[in-house]
Amino acid sequence: MSVMSRTKAREIALHLIFEMGFQQFEEENLNERLDEEIMKSISGDIALYAGKLSEEQTAYIRAVVKGVANDLPVLDTIIEANSKGWSLNRLSHMTIAVLRLALFEMRDVDDVPVGVAINEAVELAKKYDTEDAASFINGVLGSAARAEFPQEKQESTNA
């Protein structure tokens, strides 16, 4: 998948993970949200959703959103452990969604190096959250990367 299409897929996944923060995850909801007609209907207000997603993008979004839903307790434990004095209920829904997405990618998406997941998360935070949130997210993910991930996965980011 090209970098641009992965970035777009990641951004859509973030929207769905954000939404999921307010309701119980149901696979039918995910299928419905990815349905072409619905994507078309919301593309009016969000340029991001314009155009048909490739099968690869859809598969990526589906895998990431389902993965985050399945791993929520683990991801949230990692967030809490690396948030230095901040409990989850003090973080914005968007900050939590960005952190969950990035941590899932760092842990479970083999072709996304740790550094790329962190950089993409910071960019998403700048777009959808605040500058403060972006630097907070960078700090939490940097701390989590040092604590949680083997050196090999981190070194693949130097390419």
The pLDDT tens digits for 67-117 are: 999 999 999 999 999 998 788 888 999 999 999 999 999 999 999 999 999
Structure confidence at residue 35 as a pLDDT band (50, 70, 90): low
Q: Looking at the domain assignment, is residue 143 inside a domain? A: yes
**Cα–Cα dist 118/139, whole Å:** 9
pLDDT value at position 148?
Answer: 83
Cβ–Cβ contacts within 10 Å for residue 4, how many?
8
On whether the pTM is more than 0.75, the answer is yes
How many structural domains does the chain have? Answer: 1
Structure confidence at residue 36 as a pLDDT band (50, 70, 90): low
Residue 28 belongs to domain spanning: 3-151
Q: Looking at the domain assignment, is residue 11 inside a domain? A: yes
17 touches 93 (CB < 8 A) = no
Q: How many CA atoms lie within 13 A of 4 on its CB side?
A: 2
Q: What is the CATH number of the domain that holds 68?
A: 1.10.940.10
pLDDT value at position 156?
Answer: 47
Instruction: Kindly give, in sequence order, each residue whose CB lies less than 8 Å from that of residue 87, ignoring residues fewer than 6 positions away.
Output: 80
